[in-house]
Structure 1
């Protein structure tokens, strides 16, 4: 594989995982506009504990032993590499776009930089600390985890979790949602299911205001957190010939994670890929070994079709802690999955939120 170069655009969970896997055998360049990785799952708990910011923001400098990290924003994908916004050209045999997704503040960084991310997170933490009534709109993984973290850290606050779904996580067998409902009840969280907020003022950041629910019900909230889902950052790929998107904005692929027939050495990976998976770290863990094998085959001169195409989770597992000690998880055991409760959820994720794992991956203590 001498002389074969792999350029990975995007230093999120997908990008660093793939770069680390390929580093021992390929000439890898990881590109990102910031100088540090942001472990976003821990950014939820950071709203209740700002000291976590120093642990969840981790420099890239020790990630790769053979390869290199280049700081810069990718401007364009060419057939033979990547052009950065400052005019630099990074040539590649294989290019991977892992630009991830965006989310409402304060749970993900933006191109404005890490200083702003820290400032927004601390401001949200300050506003939360002084709030008496908290409303969270959206009961997906971020919204549900946030409700649990706030109720655990501030048991005196009135916390409302609102979803337009008739029940929690209806795609799983009922035992999973029931475990979460029991935990929310024990934590004192007011769960509103089947309720569509009629006057949500912002999809991008927290605010204070009165929420209007069906039937004239209102909630006067000192702080409202919109948590209605991630949006793929696919702009870089959409500028490439014949790339098409799924209804959710993620890019379609040929089965081997290639989004463009005219660019056969271009791959998409992670949240930006219409893989059939949810936008979660668990999905990346399934995609990464497959893409690693495909890229190694390409670098060895083998056709992509010699490898198995990617197949998403039949039923995606989910780890959903509600603070460090509570929560529920759905594990990929059997056809319908297996729901587990506090002990395993805390051990697998809730206690540490994978912070130690990612600090080790990036060569930090």
Structure 2
């Protein structure tokens, strides 16, 4: 099977490690993995897809790339310095340096948004800089409300023990710091005002879906992701699939979601190439409510939900916190 990857960036951004890299920039080189060694049988084309149809992909410069099967995996965007909005890796490195410098100079850090990014960042800062005052603001009444209450309660207790103030059930009236590091005063919906030397908006990722606009009969979920059928197809084109953050397949926008989609899609595409009909293949089954999640609070602490139970520091450290899957993904993408 001949594979062509169309990618605008020169490097893969390993999102879980970019959180810790804001605190420890020495991690950046391992978190940004070049695509050079990725494909042994295939090619990587630096470019940006402008449109997709049943015959292939048209790039922004007008180049047409033919394909029998097309997979839309355009991912998501996030605030700097966690991802680049344009694929500019050198710009992402510069953003990381600016945010790290601002963090080192700050004595009071306010993190707005207590999803995985905000919660993990609070733990990373508290671990590396226990002298800093860290405040984490969650709009929900508890941390990680989509999981068993024990997970959120465990994380909140551990953050408090690390010196992090966790404010739940409050929204920030403004979101400064989306473009560059800055401090100031933020008013919350509960009437409280918080002054900080550095404000970090960690309000979640947004799926990058614009290239799907030209597909026939595309429908979007409430969060803006592209709805897919049981075979991860986003439109009426039978040979176009979608995976990862862009696909509303019943999985969260996490590394856990794609870890389930990847093997199913790989097996399915190989079966189709061998002449099997799609109707003979078992449809994709998302994680649903059983999805595991690993939330490290620095390299030593954290809590995780694994299918049926909430687990603590040792499991979280050994499975994610210690290495953040960096060894696995560097090997997977062909880096020695």
Any idea what the Cα deviations from partners look like across 1:140-182, whole Å, max 9, x if unmatched? 0000000000001110000000011111112222221121112
**CA 1:214–1:90 in structure 2 vs 1: closer, same or farther (change >3 Å)?**
closer
List aligned pairs for 1:62-73, cutoff 5 A: 62-73=37-48
List aligned pairs for 1:60-139, cutoff 5 A: 60-111=35-86, 113-139=88-114
Checking the alignment, whether the CA contact within 8 Å between 1:104 and 1:205 is kept in structure 2 is: no
User: Pick from 301, 311, 317: which aligns with 1:346?
Assistant: 317
Checking the alignment, whether the CA contact within 8 Å between 2:78 and 2:85 is kept in structure 1 is: no
1:361 is the counterpart of 2:332: yes
SS at match of 2:153: helix
| Cα distance in structure 2, aligned partners of 1:257 and 1:225 | 34
Mark the runs of 5 or more structure 1 residues left unpaired by the alignment: 1-25
Instruction: Give 2:133's aligned residue.
Output: 158
Checking the alignment, whether the CA contact within 8 Å between 2:170 and 2:190 is kept in structure 1 is: no
Any idea what the Cα deviations from partners look like across 1:54-110, whole Å, max 9, x if unmatched? 111111111111122111111221221111222322111100010001111111122
Cα RMSD, aligned residues only: 1.4
| Cα distance in structure 2, aligned partners of 1:255 and 1:204 | 38
| Cα distance in structure 2, aligned partners of 1:252 and 1:86 | 28
User: Pick from 174, 188, 206: which aligns with 1:231?
Assistant: 206
User: Pick from 192, 199, 208: which aligns with 2:183?
Assistant: 208
Checking the alignment, whether the CA contact within 8 Å between 1:207 and 1:224 is kept in structure 2 is: yes
Say which is worse superposed, 121-130 or 106-115, in terms of deviation.
106-115
1:293 is the counterpart of 2:270: no
SS at match of 1:166: coil
Checking the alignment, whether the CA contact within 8 Å between 2:98 and 2:181 is kept in structure 1 is: no
| Cα distance in structure 2, aligned partners of 1:249 and 1:208 | 30
| Cα distance in structure 1, aligned partners of 2:87 and 2:277 | 40
Mark the runs of 5 or more structure 2 residues left unpaired by the alignment: none
Checking the alignment, whether the CA contact within 8 Å between 2:56 and 2:66 is kept in structure 1 is: yes
| Cα distance in structure 2, aligned partners of 1:199 and 1:363 | 42
SS at match of 1:291: helix
| Cα distance in structure 2, aligned partners of 1:102 and 1:265 | 26
| Cα distance in structure 2, aligned partners of 1:52 and 1:272 | 27
**CA 1:112–1:253 in structure 2 vs 1: closer, same or farther (change >3 Å)?**
closer
Any idea what the Cα deviations from partners look like across 1:295-341, whole Å, max 9, x if unmatched? 12221222212111112113211010000000001112xxxx21110
User: Pick from 282, 305, 309: which aligns with 2:279?
Assistant: 305
Query: 1:203: how far off?
Result: 4.7
**CA 1:92–1:200 in structure 2 vs 1: closer, same or farther (change >3 Å)?**
same
Checking the alignment, whether the CA contact within 8 Å between 1:138 and 1:227 is kept in structure 2 is: yes
User: Pick from 300, 314, 321: which aligns with 1:325?
Assistant: 300
1:180 is the counterpart of 2:180: no
Checking the alignment, whether the CA contact within 8 Å between 2:231 and 2:283 is kept in structure 1 is: yes
Checking the alignment, whether the CA contact within 8 Å between 1:293 and 1:307 is kept in structure 2 is: no
1:149 is the counterpart of 2:106: no
User: Pick from 270, 275, 284: which aligns with 2:258?
Assistant: 284
Query: 1:279: how far off?
Result: 0.2
Structure 1 residue ranges (4+ consecutive) displaced by more than 6 angstroms after TM superposition = none
| Cα distance in structure 1, aligned partners of 2:272 and 2:190 | 59
Q: TM (normalized to structure 1)? A: 0.89
1:257 is the counterpart of 2:232: yes
Checking the alignment, whether the CA contact within 8 Å between 2:184 and 2:198 is kept in structure 1 is: yes
Instruction: Give 1:6's aligned residue.
Output: none
Instruction: Give 1:52's aligned residue.
Output: 27
